[in-house]
Amino acid sequence: MNKLLGLGATAVSVMVAAVVSGLRLQPYLAEGQAYTPPAFALYPAMIAIAIVVPVVFILRFWRGKRDVDIGPVTLAANQPFIVLGCLLYVVVAVTFFPYQKLPKGYHPYKSSPPEEPAPPERKIDISFPL
């Protein structure tokens, strides 16, 4: 029964992370942006991974077994990484990386072409000497 609760906790944490990502993505879609800044999902996910991986390994070492028990919930195999990672992603994304408005026409992989000066106007003298 405890492992079934762990599976449920895994499913709920993944759904919470997906809902939070969708709500954070909504303003970009409303503006018609095709790209989002790395602060949208990449940075929070990297921070969550950098914190969760050592914590789970420390918990496993401290407990002396592969399954991690948190109250009545038993997280087996890779479930601790998923549950704690998703929950930490949500906390980091909402707390430290708010919505950032992108400039119009922003494309992360192309640099904007340099503005070329307008060519000088040519003046043609078409008067005839009399």
Cα–Cα distance measured from residue 22 to residue 18, given in angstroms and rounded to the nearest whole number: 6
Instruction: Give me the number of domains the chain comprises.
Output: 1
Domain of residue 10, residue span: 2-29+37-96
pLDDT score for 65: 77
Asked if residue 122 is part of any domain, the answer here is no
The answer to whether residues 15 and 89 touch, using CB atoms and an 8 Å cutoff, is no
State whether residue 75 is helix, strand or coil.
strand
pLDDT in tens, 56-91: 888 778 877 777 777 777 777 777 888 888 888 888
Asked if residue 82 is part of any domain, the answer here is yes
% of the chain surpassing 70 pLDDT: 78
pLDDT score for 112: 53
% of the chain surpassing 90 pLDDT: 0
Region 22-41: mean pLDDT is 76
Crossing angle for the helix pair 2-30 and 79-96, to the nearest 10 degrees: 30
pLDDT score for 108: 57
- For residue 48, what are its two tokens? 């969550």
Asked if residue 70 is part of any domain, the answer here is yes
Asked if residue 43 is part of any domain, the answer here is yes
Asked if residue 128 is part of any domain, the answer here is no
Asked if residue 23 is part of any domain, the answer here is yes
pLDDT score for 75: 73
Asked if residue 116 is part of any domain, the answer here is no
Exposure of 65 in the CB half-sphere (CA atoms within 13 A) = 6
Asked if residue 120 is part of any domain, the answer here is no
Residue 56: is it exposed, middle or buried by C-beta count within 10 angstroms (0-12/13-18/19+)? buried
Cα–Cα distance measured from residue 6 to residue 80, given in angstroms and rounded to the nearest whole number: 9
pLDDT score for 117: 67
pLDDT in tens, 37-51: 777 778 888 888 898
pLDDT score for 97: 77
Residue 68's H or E segment, with its range, is: strand 68-70
